[in-house]
Chain A
Amino acid sequence: MTARATAATAASGMARPQRLQAQGVHVAFGGIKALTGVDLTIQRGQVMGLIGPNGAGKTTLVNVLTGFQPPTQGRVLLQDRPLTGMKARDVARAGVARSFQAARLFRDMTVQENLIVAGLGAGLGRRAATERARDILDWIGCAPIAQTQCDGLSYGDERRISIARALAMGPSFALLDEPASGMNESECAALMQVISELPARFDCGVLLIEHNMTVIMGVCQRIHVLDGGRSLAEGTPDEVQADPAVRRAYLGEKAEKTALVI
């Protein structure tokens, strides 16, 4: 309850943006076209899934949305405000937080300090940042490890803390890059629960990149499919599952014969 209160009031009084949009985004690395004309809209209050085979361009898209990768073409809008060309740090402060495929925690700090840094980065004072960090750690059940040094964390804890750190910014949008990779089944189920509660608790929109179809189908209101840098389909989980192009591309030929396993 307190986590929700402090996080929701954090967005400095201004009306929270309704959507985060990528419009006609192209990214090329030399000859490699990582993204070709991708349009994507994340609504606040929703969990949007982003799936696609390895190398599809999912991480690149998150990098574009968070200012780490300038698009070769196209733009990024937060509500009506263009984010393209802004530095990653300013995008973060505008309310777009992210986690990384490799957790990238601040290794020489404690868990709680990791979250405090994000709070400070979002513009909170030391005390408010500490309070928010405690609330979030309580909420995701990591309070017992709050004072643990991050270089000694288990893999699962590392991933959870990296999400918690993104949330500690009090973001309007949280973009999570494969948060469940490498987790075992029970950890995964717990994480699913956490993620599905995020939009309501933190009054934010979520973009979830995930290879585990159970997780994706279970928590997302909408799903966007990328393949080879192009958008293949977007829709509700049911629509996407039914889409023949998705089955062909993402699940491979085998999947056409066997039913999609959920």
Chain B
Amino acid sequence: MRNFLQVLVDAVALGSLLALVALAIGLVFGVMRLINFAQGDYITVGAYALVVPTASLTPALFLGALPVPLMVAGVLFVVVLLALATERVAFRPLRDSDPATLLISSFAVSYFLQHLVMLIHTGRPKSVGIGQALTTPIDIMGLRVPGIQVVTMAVTAVLLIALVLFLKRTSMGIQMRAAAENFQMARLLGVPANRVIAMAFVISGVLGGAVSLLLIVQTGTLDIRMGLMPVIFAFFATVIGGMGSLVGAALGGFLVGGASVLLQSFLPDGLRPFRDAFVFGLVIVILLVRPKGLIVIGAARERV
């Protein structure tokens, strides 16, 4: 029982992290049909902003040296700026392209950013110690839970609630939902496309920055590919949930996170190394049964 609860906590914690990334991807997809693979590199860049840009393997802290509130604000600011820049330079000119072209373009942006970081920081992993106090386990009703897991879940909850309030209560949020339903129609009805899309990138930047910080506390290591696995899993989470549906994205994040933790714990030893293959196989199965994902929104089939 206790063991199962422990697994459950792990699953929810990983699910939360993936849900954050998936939400960012889903939000942007909603307003411009772009699956933004570069979301992973936003995370990487945010993490690297903590240290001084040098080739050194034990770099001095940069944003990481600031008091916590300032550090958080600084990282979020850097990532938001980066997200906006990629939108303006790369994605905006491609706005009317088909989703496959947009996906390719986001690969290009991702490749660019990855090598930019490499150029500045070299490709070798670096270690940073930030928020190490959070990694010590705390006792909750007999369960030993690393503090960072609690923080991750709390941050996710707060951001989810904030996002829901934003989408339901503010006029910008309502416009964004309208755009996600039917972009052309929303545009005709006077929704300012540029602002809505930019806003989606701002939010994806905030979510990306939050994930940067959570990840770096968890692993203590900077690596130019640190955003890759989260973005791959989250990417499939949005696909499973239903592209463009935010509820679906969050749900998908928890599903994928849950599935990988459960597979990790309950797969027989011989198969455990292949856990990821099972998760990706699940994606294909779900796509076959429901090509549009679990939660389908917007216009259905093309009219003949």
Contacts and interface: CB of A to CB of B under 8 A. Distances in A.
Interface of A: 59, 63, 68-69, 100
Interface string B280-304: 0000000000000000000000001
Nearest to A98: B304
A63 B304 CA distance: 8
Contacts of A100: 304
A68 B304 CA distance: 8
A31 to B, nearest CB: 14
5 contacts: A59-B304, A63-B304, A68-B304, A69-B304, A100-B304
Contacts of A68: 304
A59 B304 CA distance: 8
A160 B199 CA distance: 47
Nearest to A100: B304
A68 B301 CA distance: 11
Q: How large is the interface on B (under 10, 10 to 19, 20 to 34, 35 or more residues)?
A: under 10
Nearest to A104: B304
Report whether over half of chain B's contact residues are helix, strand or loop; otherwise say mixed.
loop
Nearest to B304: A68
Interface of B: 304
A59 B303 CA distance: 10
Nearest to A66: B304
B115 to A, nearest CB: 35
Contacts of A59: 304
Contacts of A63: 304
5 shortest A-B CB distances, which residue pairs? Answer: A68-B304, A63-B304, A100-B304, A69-B304, A59-B304
A55 B304 CA distance: 14
Contacts of A69: 304
A100 B304 CA distance: 8
B82 to A, nearest CB: 38
A157 B257 CA distance: 55
Contacts of B304: 59, 63, 68-69, 100
A68 B303 CA distance: 10
A21 to B, nearest CB: 21
Nearest to A101: B304
B278 to A, nearest CB: 33
B304 to A, nearest CB: 5
Nearest to A177: B304
Nearest to A68: B304
B116 to A, nearest CB: 37
A100 B303 CA distance: 11
A103 B106 CA distance: 34
A34 to B, nearest CB: 11
A93 B160 CA distance: 52
Nearest to A59: B304
A167 B304 CA distance: 19
Nearest to A62: B304
A55 to B, nearest CB: 12
A261 to B, nearest CB: 31
A118 to B, nearest CB: 17
Nearest to A60: B304
B270 to A, nearest CB: 42
A63 B302 CA distance: 13
A83 to B, nearest CB: 16
A258 to B, nearest CB: 34
A107 B304 CA distance: 17
A232 B304 CA distance: 24
